[in-house]
Amino acid sequence: MNQEKYLKNRVALVTGGASGMGKAIALAFAQAGANVVIGSLLASNNSSKPEELVYLPGAEELETTKKEIEELGVRAIATNLDVCSMESVQAFYDVTIKTFGKIDILANAAGISAEQTICGHSDRLWQKVIDVNLNGVYRTIKLCLPGMIEQRWGRIINIASTAASVGSPSNGAYCAAKAGVVGLTRCVALEGAAYGVSCNAISPGWVETKFGKSWMTHIAETVEEQNPEQYIQQTKETNPQKRMIQPQEIGALAAFLCREEAFGITMQELTVSAGALW
């Protein structure tokens, strides 16, 4: 297989694919030759509340990402996607099967957060964070895994977080959801192991995306009572590598995990944090 286009004729689904880490993953798959289907909840379909920390791209950003994928010489589909809705996830799956006939790779990058203590949590906010970050991953895997098992080849990559193994007094729902993603990853890896399917979780630290900067700005203003730019710079300076992770680094790792020679890497939580714990 051509090592430059080792994913030629493969089909990849990416949730949260219009921006941030999801976009970087989608572009990395395309660079390796895969046709890519991206889905993101769009700002025009926004049903989020002020206490939810989430970045929602617009339709123009979704279309721009689609064009960037196509410029790499592959086919692309871009659509609105709500991972909290099984109907929406089913439509996302169906358009892929109708167009390409199969799904080889699934990357779950859609995510949401909230800054709230357990004592202060509303049940609605707790359930929303869990629903997007954990149940959304379950919904896509439930649809895609059977076909991967049947064709005896598949790669599933879930974006977890360093929060899966490091606690925070104001991120209980997020930490719990991401720990759940790691647990789910291990179970799926074992279910698919005998059928050519691997499943891994990538756990990034702070990543320099629009969502990451927005989240850090919120923390600076509402929790730390600091200037956001100073807080972000301080975060970089306290990192062992004096920086934040770039989304392209996550994309590169996701693409590597799809290589034939990476099949033995499965059931793993791969931390990309430049040495930081959180």
Which residues have a catalytic role annotated? 174
Q: Which DSSP state fits 134? A: I
CA distance 278 to 69: 31
Name the packing angle between helices 228-238 and 210-219 (round to 10°).
110
CA distance 27 to 227: 33
Is the Cβ–Cβ distance between 197 and 150 less than 8 Å? Answer: no
CA distance 165 to 117: 17
H/E stretch holding 189: helix 172-192
209's CB contacts (< 8 A; 6+ apart) are 19, 20, 21, 55, 247
Partners of residue 76 on adjacent β-strands: 36
